[in-house]
Amino acid sequence: MANKGKPRPAKLSVYLYIPNIVGYMRILLNCVAFAVCFSNKTLFSLLYFFSFCCDAVDGWCARKFNQVSTFGAVLDMVTDRVSTACLLVILSQVYRPSLAFLSLLALDIASHWLQMYSTFLSGKTSHKDVKDSTSWLFKLYYGNRLFMGYCCVSCEVLYIILLLIAKKQTENLMNVLVDSLTQISPLSVLLALSIFGWGIKQVVNVIQMKTAADVCVLYDIEKKQKP
């Protein structure tokens, strides 16, 4: 019997949603940015940060034009995670100890991957739905756009500043941070504000990873209890 409901949109139409096109532009901007990250740090910083700002644009477009899609959500998160991961890898080549940045990379990917998977297991539609969490900081982070924006921007700004102020490829991270913070300048203030927001986001990442892991464990326990 023929389906009398609304016809399914073609796959191409979803790929060409306006927010998804913005996502493709972000990827292109990042590709160009990382291609010049060592030869032209200023251009890299401008392109990378502009791509990061477009993250808010694609979300606005999705709501404005009613073009919210699962593909768009995945594209958005993958672009965010890969972009930050690439920048952390570059910083691990510039600063010592490099393990500090590789550890941040691992925490970022692990916490977000677990959060996405636990969202799927819980039957939720968004990984930002954390109303049932017992952590006030976790709920504040995902419940307040301004607070989450501050933390996310702080992370990216901190990493960009660290790349800009590195003078050689064997910098000691703590020495550079101490020297920059002890100078009375707009850069030192921006660096301090960024470190504070960055710190909060790392705490949230740890909470997110633990909360998501608990959801996975509880899912296993409930599955085994079923007859």
pLDDT at position 193 is: 96
Range of the domain at 52: 12-225
Residue 7 in domain? no
CA distances in angstroms from 63 to 1, 18, 19, 168, listed in the order given: 35, 11, 9, 44
**How many whole angstroms separate alpha carbon 54 and alpha carbon 35?**
19
CB-neighbour burial class of residue 41 (10 A; exposed 0-12, middle 13-18, buried 19+): middle
Best CA proximity match to 26, nearest among 60, 69, 1, 58 = 58
The CATH number of the domain where 24 resides is what?
A: 1.20.120
Residue 5 in domain? no
pLDDT at position 43 is: 97
- Could you report the per-residue pLDDT of 52-89, keeping only the tens digit for each? 999 989 989 998 999 999 899 889 999 999 999 999 99
Residue 3 in domain? no
pLDDT at position 143 is: 94
**How many whole angstroms separate alpha carbon 19 and alpha carbon 23?**
6
- The DSSP line for 108-130 is HHHHHHHHHHHHHHHT-S-TT--
Total number of domains constituting the chain: 1
Best CA proximity match to 107, nearest among 205, 9, 226 = 205
Confidence bin at 225 (pLDDT 50/70/90): confident
Rounded to an integer, the average pLDDT of 91-114 is 95
Residue 58 in domain? yes
**How many whole angstroms separate alpha carbon 187 and alpha carbon 189?**
5
pLDDT at position 87 is: 97
**How many whole angstroms separate alpha carbon 101 and alpha carbon 92?**
5
Confidence bin at 167 (pLDDT 50/70/90): confident
Residue 144 in domain? yes
- Could you report the per-residue pLDDT of 22-56, keeping only the tens digit for each? 999 999 999 999 999 999 999 999 999 999 999 98
* Average model confidence (pLDDT) across the chain: 91
Residue 115 in domain? yes
Residue 153 in domain? yes
Contact 100, 72 (CB under 8 A): no
Q: Which residues are part of the catalytic machinery? A: 80
Residue 168 in domain? yes
Specify the higher pLDDT residue, 17 or 1.
17
- Could you report the per-residue pLDDT of 138-148, keeping only the tens digit for each? 999 999 999 99
Position 1 pLDDT exceeds 50: no
